[in-house]
Structure 1
């Protein structure tokens, strides 16, 4: 089998495929053109999408030509969800999200060289198509009984599903045919939750154009308890730093479970097989050192936000717990770290006792006073000795954030409005 596909299989990146042996032979003939799509149903892509983005980068690094599709048309419809009908966003909002997502996903691949990436928008070939042309040219090739058999559709039938969402598969399938006709694209990748749509595109090309093409889907990543990867108590881990700070992303991957961290490294890191297997041994032999988690957090944060942001996030993580200098951290990093520890916003004059309570590191004013008396309270990593201390301008790092701590591990913050 093709060495690239062997590596992808070792990394756990192949859940479904049309025919791996045929795809391997196709790749051995020379560089192929492939595509992956992203629907703008939110203002940013997230860590689940990052699996597909980095797969595209791996394929491009191996010499293949990526087409990154942002669904200006499909994003107006939305793929059916099991939980119920989607709320339709306005065209203006979706088109704004298209531009944001184009910029995000485009940052991971190269647009130069012999196998330069190409960015496309399915709104370009969908918006001018008439209903009659769509029904005659696309709908004709889709047996309704097969559409009804799709898992998500079958589960939605009892509660009800609109014709709009029912027809989504036709739009996505048409994308594959259009990219094949225009550019010669012969492979589509995506998540395993999209396999029905992806396979439908392969089938449409076979039925309408008598063309054989390929498809491959990655597994959906989960946590050790089976819950969805990329979700935290505060929500989804986004790639946009305005929605998820570099510090929060760094912490998310740093806190990866021992049972899953190697799986995540294989997917998100470009380290070699030998390096990852060494980290796997370290996790088994000395899990308390968390070497694999640090490698994962470093690699992902470097890829998404750059080395300087990663270094700032790592420095903040250490400084919050008294192992670094808080005053050297930039304001965005401080604010990101403060948000992650559940900082309280304050205004006006505030005493240290009130700050400890507001930040959630103690339960009451009495507990705050006892903590100070026992020598266990810290303000910006400096031990607090005066229960009547009032926070002044100098106590707010970069004029905004004051970090309070009880003991070694209980950290909080207050942010001046």
Structure 2
């Protein structure tokens, strides 16, 4: 099975500008291709992953990926999917965001070797271009009627669109032309919302380059969930690639909680497992769903790719400790990850357990607290406590900083000192 057949099997291809032409070109030569991301934040989230993972698949088949971080386009703002103007970011903010995103992209691609990835920033060629050059050399080739027919622009005409955002598609077209001329880049890939921008690039190449020039566009479908809820969102917000925003444990948990109805699709599009491996996991979902083998593999593959083996093992350790209740085995750093979003209470001194349960709002009253303890419903660092006179001492503090109280099966509270 060739690359395009594999992409089709995985459900990754949504639109192509010239399917036969691309197939023919890939069969004859190793090409360069690119995908871009605008640095609108200092981290990407999992909604950005699929186009770049697709770019990586091309690299595994011998092609050279060009990873573009939009230091220039990030200053403008893509109107795609927006009903109103974006708030413009400062140059300093965008440059800081570029640095954060570059680090994350480095975990996905191989930058060494014959087809090592190239990372570029469109600010390097667009940032110094004067307006007259832009209008004469680029703008002259893109018709206003052509742009008005673009969905991203047409959808904004009633509510209003600034000239700044109106020209965004021309800037992205200029990226494709620049990479075509300087890196022999023949293919741009992106999410389905980038179709208009991709075809603008092809139009510009067609106008500027000789008739024999060949370039292509390919888009990837929007990732959806079977239940209709938005992919990549949790109660606490987006799932970021930055471990400071979304810890590796939270990242792992997001994937391991994937519904049975979605997990095979996610294995196909987000992992590099073979068809045979995925088919075996699909069989496991059907025959023994309670074991959640597919979800575990999905979580392991993605966490290892983005955060590395050490962070994966740490995430697994935290998950197992929380499931078993053996939280004393965790380090302080692991506790901070695993209990990031649980209720917390700061204690100053050694306290009677009954008083602490009330003060930390774990139990609603002293009477209930005593009843909870007597019934064996309260654990301290995973150890059941049934003595109402129990005093939390220094020995109950993990690394001198934390005590973990659990009431019932699931209600955790983190005590900080």
Q: TM-score range by the shorter chain?
A: over 0.9
Counterpart-to-counterpart distance in 1, 2:231 and 2:398:
34
Alignment of 1:375-386 (within 5 A): 375-386=376-387
Describe the shift of the 1:216–1:166 C-alpha distance in structure 2 as closer, same or farther (beyond 3 A).
same
Describe the shift of the 1:150–1:227 C-alpha distance in structure 2 as closer, same or farther (beyond 3 A).
farther
Gaps of 5+ in 2: none
Matched, 1:76 2:75: yes
Counterpart-to-counterpart distance in 1, 2:415 and 2:407:
18
Counterpart-to-counterpart distance in 1, 2:4 and 2:365:
58
| Counterpart for residue 272 of structure 2 | 270
Alignment of 1:142-161 (within 5 A): 142-161=142-161
Alignment of 1:31-50 (within 5 A): 31-50=30-49
Give CA-to-partner distance per residue, 1:162-198, whole Å, 9 cap, x none.
Answer: 2111211111110000000111000111111212111
Gaps of 5+ in 1: none
| Counterpart for residue 333 of structure 2 | 332
The 8 Å contact of residues 187 and 215 in structure 2, kept in 1 or not, is answered as yes
Counterpart-to-counterpart distance in 2, 1:356 and 1:285:
44
- Tell me how far 1:359 sits from its aligned partner: 7.1
Describe the shift of the 1:362–1:79 C-alpha distance in structure 2 as closer, same or farther (beyond 3 A).
farther
| Counterpart for residue 162 of structure 1 | 162
Alignment of 1:6-405 (within 5 A): 6-80=5-79, 81-209=81-209, 210=211, 211-322=213-324, 325-340=326-341, 342-349=342-349, 352-353=353-354, 367-405=368-406
Give CA-to-partner distance per residue, 1:368-414, whole Å, 9 cap, x none.
Answer: 44332221221211102134544333323233333222333x14231
CA RMSD of aligned residues (A): 2.1
Normalising by structure 2, report the TM-score: 0.93
Describe the shift of the 1:31–1:320 C-alpha distance in structure 2 as closer, same or farther (beyond 3 A).
same
Give 3-state SS (helix, strand or coil) of 1:412's partner: strand
Give 3-state SS (helix, strand or coil) of 1:225's partner: coil
Normalising by structure 1, report the TM-score: 0.93
Describe the shift of the 1:169–1:373 C-alpha distance in structure 2 as closer, same or farther (beyond 3 A).
same
- Tell me how far 1:16 sits from its aligned partner: 1.2
Give 3-state SS (helix, strand or coil) of 2:392's partner: coil
Counterpart-to-counterpart distance in 2, 1:262 and 1:360:
42
Give CA-to-partner distance per residue, 1:135-183, whole Å, 9 cap, x none.
Answer: 1222222222332233333332222222111211111110000000111
Counterpart-to-counterpart distance in 2, 1:172 and 1:242:
31
Give 3-state SS (helix, strand or coil) of 1:156's partner: coil
